[in-house]
A and B are shown apart, each in its own frame.
Chain A
Amino acid sequence: MQRYILSRMVQSLLILLGVLFIVFFMLQLTGDPVSLMVSRNASPEQVERLREEMGFNRPLIIQFGDFIGGALVGDFGMSLRHRQPAMKLILERLPATVELATTALLIALCIGIPLGLLSGSNPGSFWDTLARGAGLVGQTIPNFWLALILIVVFSVELGWFPTFGRRTWEVFGMELPTKSVILPAFSLGLFTTGQLVRFTRSAVLEIKNEDYVRTAYSKGLKDNQIYLRHILRNASIPLISIVGVQFGYLLSGSIYIETIFSWPGIGNLLAEAIGNRDFALVQAIAFFASLVVVTLNLLTDIAYGLADPRIRYGD
């Protein structure tokens, strides 16, 4: 197990390095940020001087070396637009994104799994039709479109939720979510909900016909016990992998949803950083997002072992 984790960590590190490499060179293709940093009235000499000061006139490979050197010690440089350390800006926005991602995942879990179970256990029933419809809709509706519709219906027409922004409720210095998170979280979690419904359903359908389930029935166990102890537990392995991977994506910030709802998270920051060619900030966010995804994937693999004792790693 330890050896497995160690080798996965080395792999993860290589992935992160790859991400840094790609992001760095892709950003260079977008042009030079200096032209956005000076006023349009600046003279060519002023522009050149700034380019020199910022180090953008050095060979790319040296700039990349510098960047990697900094990144290894957690220094992603200063945001060009905010003139503050890029990582600091990310950490400031992190609580909002964590709140949104966690709520989105909770919504997906609370809707997706029960609906999938109901549907898988009663194929052809009303619940099955509903669940299959929901799964399809969840995976096909573009979430930014849904977000706008939700705003029009639930904020403008019904007035149930705020249109934009994040409001928190402070209790003993802790920031607790309020209803402002519901619409963005629902829009964001929709895809994952759809995925969970479909995966749970097919897993349940498959496992229901396994020998051990039939045995359990013949032992006279009750439905509840069979579903919880046998079916759900066995279905949880593919679900864990979906939840782990999806949570990684949710946590790395959603550009569309956060921008539409003006949610002060990392996705919103990234949208702004890309628009302003804020290289340092884009690189830092890309690194942060891949770190989250890679870490969650690793944790997911480890969690398999806990859910299914038969899975052993490299022993």
Chain B
Amino acid sequence: MERIGRILLMIFLSMALAAPAIAAEPEGTLRVATTTMPNAIDLPMGAERNAHNVAWQMYNSLVWINDEGTVVPALADSWIISEDGSEITFKLKKGIKFHNGEPFDADSVVYTWERGKQDKMQWKEKFAIAENVEKIDDYTVKIDTGKPNPLLFRVMAEYWAMIPPEYHKKVGENEFLNNPVGTGPFKFKEWRKGDRIVFEANPDYWEEGLPKVKNLIFRPIPESTTRMAAIQTNEVDIVTRLSSEEAENLMNVQGVKVTNYPVDRVYYIAFNNLTSGKGKPTEDPKVRQAMNYAVDVKAIIDALFEGYGREATGYVTPGNLGYDEQIKPFGYDLEKAEKLLAEAGYPDGFKIGFACPSGAYTNFEQVCEAIQGFLSGVGIETDLQLMESGKYWDLEGKKQLPPLFGDSWSEATGEALPRLKGALGGMDASFSAWSDPKIKEFLDKIGQTIDDAERAELYVELQRYMQENPPFIYLYEPVTFEAMSPKVKDYRPRPAENYYLKYTSVEK
């Protein structure tokens, strides 16, 4: 009898312990301020980061990049990579439904890809990364990339948001953009243009226990001072992209929590050896090294960003695959700079053209003025032109900027390859002003190496080469500031300033 009693007690206790494991219903409302109003709640059409951040809350791709940066299954259960690495066969999860009840299957994958690669789509090249997407059976698709492409999974996770073919065909593109449907943790409820986008929890979401909040509202607040006020008055729960001064002002405000994290963005002054920089002293690697030594990046970070920021060691950031821990920033060394310039045959410096965009990045005009000052310290005279950013990027795309020009490059995939190819791809890349056969060789090799460890090794070698032969004056990687209500739990922003809010909850 005693034994039966003990067993009953054990059963009772185990039930009591198991109780909290039963998924809690989503509750509460999370209000997030965005810095612009998304042009579309859509991946291939979404113009920029804000649009993508909003859109990903209601979509899924076949794979997902988790918080540790690893590719994990999402709507795909598993996959097999062909021997030559160019074909990947995905097995899809069964029983998943879109918010409108339409089943998710292989047709959805094929249709999503076909829509995404249309000419009118802003991010069509992210879909054109696959040469073909073929339905094998209802829950199997084969993706052919022609040759091995290590970025496929990451690009899919960032852009291939699955959409329902029947619904999209029925309502057409415009109506779909007004009433989008996905499989994600939240479903679309309302979009008041210029004012708010409202989502609600998807009760049938396939990841158990997610999302945590019932209502998710995005409010655009373009002006950062207003964002700062809105978090103080508890009108929103999360605000992003504050300046360091604004963040400091909020630090002692009750009911506001301020955080900062490094962003996967590199600021640099680029050299040109394709057009305007041909035949200039900057073609000599010693001169370029000297210019790196001549600029006191730390002083710039301290003076203009109140110490928040990291001296860039190259074009691969600490969060990227294959970041070289051993590598050090050039550092400010006037003697070395002068010595290198003398060795290169320019002991008295030289004159060179220099341009920077204005109104594009925080304090970047001042950064460029500081660089102008530092360079003149070693006799390099620059005629800094500050240009309206739209015009600037137009000229940059046409390779018509002076031989020295400032800019920055962010990366969302967690790997530096797109950024490296974009800025160093020579004549084949619109925004590149530099060509170096050795770098090209590295990039080609990296682009065809599927194995992560091997690729990481190549990145390390490339970074070392790019210190000896710098195609840039490496500047800094910024820190972004955000503020939130202390009630917000488990908000996990990532270095590309993107976030997935399925885990985030709001305490009562």
Determine the distance from Cα of A33 to Cα of B225 in the docked complex, in whole angstroms.
Answer: 29
**How far apart are the CA atoms of A50 and B123 in the complex, in Å?**
12
Main secondary structure of the interface of B (DSSP, over half): mixed
Contact A268 B233, CB 8 Å, known A36-B393, A81-B39, A166-B195:
no
Interface string of A231-243 (1 = CB under 8 A from B): 0000000000000
Nearest chain B CB to A104's CB is how many angstroms away?
18
Q: Indicate if B232 sits at the interface (CB-CB under 8 A).
A: yes
By the criterion CB–CB under 8 Å, are A40 and B430 in contact?
Answer: yes
Q: B335 at the A/B interface (Cβ < 8 Å)?
A: no
Contacts of A271 in B (CB 8 A): 222
- Which of A32, A152, A165 has the most chain B CB atoms closer than 10 A to its own CB? A165
Interface flag for B305 (CB, 8 Å): no
Q: Which residues of A contact B390 (CB under 8 A)?
A: 30-31, 33, 36, 277
Shortest Cβ distance from B418 into A: residue:
A41
Report the minimum CB–CB distance from B436 to chain A (whole Å).
18
Closest to A269 in B: B194
- Selected from A40, A163, A272, the residue in CB contact (under 8 A) with B233 is A163
Q: Report Cα–Cα, A82/B45, bound state, in Å.
A: 9
CB distance from A271 to the nearest CB of B (A): 7
Q: Chain A residue with minimal CB distance to B221?
A: A262
A residues in contact with B219, CB < 8 Å? 164-165, 262
Q: Is B170 an interface residue (CB 8 A)?
A: no
Which of B174-191 touch A at CB < 8 Å? 174, 177
Q: B34-53 interface mask toward A, CB cutoff 8 Å, 1 = contact, 0 = none? A: 00110110000101000000
The smallest beta-carbon distance between A81 and chain B, in angstroms, is 5
Contact B394 A31 (CB under 8 A): yes
Q: Judge if B391 is at the interface, Cβ distance under 8 Å.
A: yes
CA distance A184 to B19 in the complex (A): 51
The answer to whether A82 and B123 have CB atoms under 8 Å apart is: no
Among B177, B429, B430, find the residue whose CB has the most chain A CB atoms closer than 10 A: B430
Residues of chain A lying within 8 A (CB to CB) of residue B393: 31, 35-36
Contact between A37 and B122, CB atoms less than 8 A apart? yes
- Is B409 located at the chain interface by the 8 A CB criterion? yes
Partner of B225, one of A41, A43, A148: A148
Mark contacts of A251-293 with chain B using CB atoms, 8 A cut-off: 1 yes-contact digit, 0 otherwise. Answer: 0000000011110110011011000110000000000000000
Q: Is A38 an interface residue (CB 8 A)?
A: yes
In this complex, what residue of A is CB-closest to B226?
A164
| Interfacial residues of chain B within 11-60, with CB under 8 A of chain A in the complex | 36-37, 39-40, 45, 47
Residues in B with CB closer than 8 Å to A38 are: 122, 430
Give min CB distance, B471 to chain A, whole Å: 16
**B422 interface residue per 8 A CB criterion:** yes
Given contacts A30-B390, A39-B122, A268-B194, contact A164 B418 (CB under 8 A): no
Check A43–B193 contact: CB distance below 8 A: no
Please, how many angstroms separate the alpha-carbon atoms of A79 and B399 in the complex?
Answer: 27
Point out the residue from B36, B235, B388, B421 that lies within 8 Å of A30, measured CB to CB.
B388
- A164-B422 in contact given A93-B193, A264-B193 (Cβ < 8 Å): no
| Neighbour of A44 across the interface among B40, B174, B232, B430, CB < 8 A | B430
| Interfacial residues of chain A within 78-96, with CB under 8 A of chain B in the complex | 81-84, 89, 92-93, 96
* List of B residues within 8 angstroms of A164 by Cβ: 219, 221, 226, 229-230, 235
**Which B215-240 residues have C-beta < 8 A from chain A?**
219-223, 225-226, 229-230, 232-233, 235
User: Does A307 sit within 8 A of B, measured CB to CB?
Assistant: no
Contacts A47-B397, A84-B174, A148-B225 known; A264 to B233 CB distance under 8 Å? no
User: Which chain B residue shows the least CB distance to A268?
Assistant: B194
Tell me which residues across on chain B come within 8 A of A261, comparing CB atoms. 226
Cβ of B125 under 8 Å from chain A: yes
Query: What's the minimum C-beta distance from B431 to chain A, rounded to whole angstroms?
Result: 5
Q: Does B348 contact A (CB under 8 A)?
A: no
Q: Are B194 and A265 in contact (CB under 8 A)?
A: yes
26 contacts between A and B (CB under 8 A): A30-B391, A31-B391, A39-B123, A41-B125, A41-B418, A41-B431, A42-B125, A43-B429, A43-B430, A49-B119, A82-B39, A89-B193, A93-B193, A93-B194, A151-B225, A151-B229, A156-B229, A163-B229, A163-B230, A164-B229, A165-B195, A165-B219, A262-B221, A262-B223, A264-B192, A268-B222
Given contacts A31-B391, A38-B122, A40-B409, 15 further A-B contacts (CB under 8 A): A30-B390, A31-B393, A35-B430, A42-B430, A82-B39, A83-B45, A83-B177, A151-B229, A152-B229, A155-B233, A163-B226, A163-B230, A165-B195, A260-B223, A272-B222
The 6 A-B residue pairs with the shortest CB-CB distance, nearest first, are A264-B194, A31-B394, A264-B195, A35-B397, A31-B391, A41-B422
